[in-house]
Amino acid sequence: MIIQKTENSRISAFDPNNFSFGNTFIDHMIICEYDNGKWGDVKLVPYGPLMFTPAMMGVNYGQACFEGMKAYKDKDGQVFLFRPEKNFERINKSAKRLAMPQVTEEMFLDGLKALVDIDRDWIPQGEGMSLYIRPLIFATEEALKARVSNKYMFAIVATPAKSYYTEPVSVKISDHYSRAANGGVGFAKAAGNYAASFYPTQLAIEEGYEQIIWTDDATHEYFEESGTMNVFVRINDTIYTPPTSEKILDGVTRDSFIQLAKKRGIEVKIEPIKVKDVIEAQKNGSLKEVWGVGTAVVTTVFQALGYNGEKLQLPRLSEEESYAESLKRDLVNIQSNLSEDPFGWRVQVDHVLETA
Amino acid sequence: MIIQKTENSRISAFDPNNFSFGNTFIDHMIICEYDNGKWGDVKLVPYGPLMFTPAMMGVNYGQACFEGMKAYKDKDGQVFLFRPEKNFERINKSAKRLAMPQVTEEMFLDGLKALVDIDRDWIPQGEGMSLYIRPLIFATEEALKARVSNKYMFAIVATPAKSYYTEPVSVKISDHYSRAANGGVGFAKAAGNYAASFYPTQLAIEEGYEQIIWTDDATHEYFEESGTMNVFVRINDTIYTPPTSEKILDGVTRDSFIQLAKKRGIEVKIEPIKVKDVIEAQKNGSLKEVWGVGTAVVTTVFQALGYNGEKLQLPRLSEEESYAESLKRDLVNIQSNLSEDPFGWRVQVDHVLETA
């Protein structure tokens, strides 16, 4: 790894109690370029602009995929990543589906650790605080031909993330728009999947909802995902979530929730969820909770489902009664080193560069 | 429009008889930036790199769409665009679906004409030669949040294009992969649609085909598009093409072929095309031609269809017998000012900047 430390650290201007998530960037970034059929040196460099023309294939043909993950600082200042090997595996699944070169474990995990290590001072401490990390791969060749690019960049950038409590939201069960086709790229964290979801979400917001529960594009009879999250439904005391497929992202938070629920002795059924069964359960009072899970917010609890022009209310459970809240607490405690780590999910980031 | 002419023209190094399509760029480009809810000045500047970080939303969330169009130089050196208003309308349809700001006619058409005017010396002359022009809009805000971007760039870049004769190709009728979902973005020239098509195409190539005929994702019983082109089928002396929809691009070449066919008195049916009807027609000998149309190659004729593991051969017609070739000739003649323009499709590009 080639390391070029910044000579103009911005850390003194960073107030961990008052910053904007998503556009406050840490001092450094990882970059690595692919050309002539192979990846070059991994470089840790100051965060900043690079030179690209508007003919860059990444913005013309959408060969671009990413990961979202976090680093957490415990009360003693120790820094941990959470299940980073899952993100490593998944970025390569996404890359393969988009006909992009896969990255090596060394590029991904060593790059990640070096970046988090050198900029560990940027990780805010305290309940729910973290560093949000964005590894991505995108096509960089300048060419106006609709074909696979010959040049790519792998990069890791990061922004401090706040503890945010999210109010329960209302979600619309999609009856027209969809996010994934059979034989498509729904399972991948493909850049284009996100752009495609914005307009339908805007329409749902105009109708008084905050998010969309995506359903299958052919019949709209089955739940797929919710917003940019995996979705869980609780009927009586059983939790349901759809199986992963070529249309549904294999979420790290989803998988963690499943394991944590089983550990608590909660029955988890991984099976297709029919819209009509959820609506029926709401009508007969057996529908207890519906929520989304993802790295950014961990979980968002839903207070109402929009279906056929009706806004169907969900019960408001206490934190103790709520599986969504209990499992979120279990997860956050492991992530932040506030509890034991029975699954071996935490990966400590050693001091190597920072003390150098 | 702000005009900054290059002081280092590369035109003297450009050999119109020997250049590489797609990565030879003309001297200038158009750029225009969107911020604070509005577009800024349109700028005609030297083609070259701009500054973007890997946190640019265009490569993270795929808000990016484009157009493909051409300028043609006739034997007297006059320069023409072809139906540019169609591309203007379509880029805004794409932008709307991707929750991006629409561009103005002034930005798009005046920018286009200024660019083609100032770099008219880059347009190669001769049969089938042209300048391939790429207008695009992409998100430029630096932010790690899966939401609509607040900043965008509209750009126009261009590359000289050769006359290329394409050999008839074999295409696989897709039985698993798909390019569009119901309620998705298939009708838009969304960047992500192209990336999603590359891997299935690679697999088809491994099976001995050059392209894919995309079918509906739910049943694979209906033709949608072919490669990055609209598809036409001729059974006996009737031409069929699927109606445009939210899954099928409203192609300018498609529309032009339909009008040209009608002018020739050929029967055109715009209706869903069943895979099974095409296969049946191949078996009973009534299937005469299947071809794709698009701006880049005008038309690609298919010599065989892959279906259910079989490679079904198509007849090889002479240029006179072939509707695909006849209509291509009609179209190219209009584009290149070799024939009358009964539809008013040509738009001449005046000398304004070049002589300034």
The C-alpha atoms of residue B23 and residue A143 are separated, in whole angstroms, by 5
What is the pLDDT confidence band of residue B315, given thresholds at 50, 70 and 90?
Answer: very high
Minimal CA–CA distance to B61: which of B154, B150, B134?
B150
| Residue A54 to residue B97, Cβ atoms within 8 A | no
Give chain B's mean pLDDT.
Answer: 96
Complex ipTM tops 0.90: yes
Helix (H, G, I), strand (E, B) or coil at A66: strand
If 0-12 CB within 10 Å is exposed, 13-18 middle and 19+ buried, where does residue A206 land?
A: exposed
The shortest CB-CB distance from A52 to any of B49, B97, B99 is to: B49
- Matching residue, tokens 């207070």: A303
Pick the residue of B50, B60, B213 with the most A CBs within 10 A to test the interface with A by mutation: B60
- Rounded distance, CA A315 to CA A321, Å? 11
Nearest beta carbon to residue A191 from set B55, B134, B192 = B192
Chain B residues closer than 8 Å to A97 by CB? 196, 199
Distance from CA of B245 to the nearest CA of A (A): 14
Closest-CA distance, A111 to chain B, in angstroms, reads 15
Q: How far is A331 from chain B (nearest CA, A)?
A: 22
How high is the pLDDT of residue B195? 98
Mean pLDDT of B318-337: 96
- Put simply, the answer to whether A59 touches B136 (Cβ < 8 Å) is yes
- Name which of B31, B98, B177 is nearest A199 (Cβ-Cβ): B98
State which residue of chain A sits closest to B145, comparing Cα positions: A22
Chain A, nearest residue to B30 by Cα: A54
| Average pLDDT of span A236-249 | 98
Q: How far apart are CA B327 and CA B322, in angstroms?
A: 9
**A60 with B47: Cβ contact below 8 A:** no
Mean per-residue pLDDT, A65-74: 98
Mean pLDDT, to the nearest integer, of A125-136? Answer: 94
Identify the pLDDT of residue B84: 98
> What does the pLDDT read at residue B127?
85
- Is residue A187 within 8 Å of A227, Cβ to Cβ? no
- Is the pLDDT reported for residue A249 higher than 60? yes
Separation in Å, CA of B171 to nearest CA in chain A: 16
Query: What is the pLDDT, as a whole number, of residue A352?
Result: 87
pLDDT at B92: 98
pLDDT value of residue A256:
98
Question: Which of B25, B49, B58 faces A51 most closely, judged by CB atoms?
Answer: B49
**pLDDT average, residue stretch A14-25:** 93
Q: Which residues contact B295 (CB under 8 A, 6 or more apart)?
A: B68, B69, B70, B132, B251, B252, B253
Most A-contacting residue of B19, B43, B59, B93 (CB-CB within 10 A), to test interface: B59
B152 chain-A contacts, CB cut-off 8 A: none
pLDDT at res. B350: 93
Positive or negative torsion for Cα A50, A52, A58, A60 = positive
In Å, how far is B154's CA from the nearest CA of chain A?
9
Taking an 8 Å cut-off on Cβ atoms, the answer to whether A196 and B184 are in contact is yes
State residue B354's pLDDT score.
Answer: 54
Q: Give the pLDDT of residue A354.
A: 55
Which chain A residues touch B226 with a CB distance below 8 Å? none
In this prediction, residue A260 carries a pLDDT of 98
Give the chain B residue nearest A31 (alpha carbons).
B54
Average pLDDT (B326-341) is 96
pLDDT in tens, B339-356: 999 999 999 999 988 544
Residue B51 contacts by C-beta under 8 Å, 6 or more apart in sequence? A49, A50, A51
CA distance A157 to A151: 19
Q: How does pLDDT run across B210-220, given as a tens digit for each residue?
A: 999 999 999 99
Whether residue B194 and residue A22 make contact (CB cut-off 8 A), yes or no, is no
Could you give the CA distance from residue A156 to residue A6 in angstroms, rounded to a whole number? 16
DSSP B12: G
Please list every residue in chain A whose beta carbon sits closer than 8 Å to the beta carbon of residue B58.
Answer: 58-59
**pLDDT of res. B80:** 98
Over the stretch A293-327, which tens digit does the pLDDT of each residue have? 999 999 999 999 999 999 999 999 999 999 999 99
Probe site for chain B from A92, A198, A249 (most B CB atoms < 10 A): A198
Q: Which positions in chain A touch B204 (Cβ < 8 Å)?
A: none
What's the confidence (pLDDT) of residue A356? 45
Separation between Cα atoms, residue A86 and residue A189, nearest integer Å: 13
Instruction: Of B202, B214, B171, B213, give the one whose Cα is nearest residue B313.
Output: B171
For range B83-95, the mean pLDDT: 98
* Residue of A23, A148, A195 with shortest CB distance to B98: A195
pLDDT at A128: 84
Measured in angstroms, the CA of A95 and the nearest CA of chain B are apart by 10
For residue A116, give how far its alpha carbon lies from the nearest alpha carbon of chain B (Å).
Answer: 17
Share of chain B above pLDDT 90, in %: 95
- Domains of chain A with CATH codes: 2-164 (3.30.470.10), 169-316 (3.20.10.10)
Reported as a single tens digit per residue, the pLDDT across B262-279 is 999 999 999 999 999 999
Residue among B62, B136, B180 whose CB faces A195 most closely: B62
- Tell whether the model's pLDDT for residue B124 goes beyond 70: yes
Nearest alpha-carbon partner for A199 in B107, B224, B99:
B99
- CA-based torsion, B142, B145, B149, B153: positive or negative: positive
Helix (H), strand (E), coil (C) string for B68-134: CEEEEECCCCCEEEECHHHHHHHHHHHHHHCCCCCCCHHHHHHHHHHHHHHCHHHCCCCCCCEEEEE
Which residues of A fall within a CB distance of 8 Å from B176? 183
How far, in Å, CA of A10 to CA of A13, rounded?
6
Q: Distance (Å, rounded) from C-alpha A317 to C-alpha A287? A: 12
Cβ contact, residue pair A50, B48, below 8 Å: no
Q: Which are the contacts of B216, defined by CB distance < 8 A and separation ≥ 6?
A: B178, B222, B224, B247
pLDDT in tens, A139-181: 999 999 999 999 999 999 999 998 766 789 999 999 999 999 9
**How close A133 comes to chain B (CA, Å)?**
9
Distance separating alpha carbons of residues B227 and B162, to the nearest angstrom = 20
Distance from CA of B99 to the nearest CA of A (A): 5
Confidence of residue A127 (pLDDT cuts 50, 70, 90): confident
User: Token pair for residue A49?
Assistant: 């602009």
Contact at CB, B132 and A147, closer than 8 angstroms:
no
Please tell me the predicted confidence (pLDDT) of residue A326. Answer: 97
Option in A31, A147, A178 nearest B183 (CB): A178
Which residue from B23, B99, B194 is facing A61, i.e. has the nearest CB?
Answer: B194
- pLDDT tens sequence across B147-172: 999 999 999 999 999 876 678 999 99
pLDDT at A56 over 90: yes
Over residues B56-66, the pLDDT tens digits come to: 999 999 999 99
CA–CA distances in Å: residue A313 to residues A279, A281, A282, A309, A329: 11, 12, 8, 13, 24
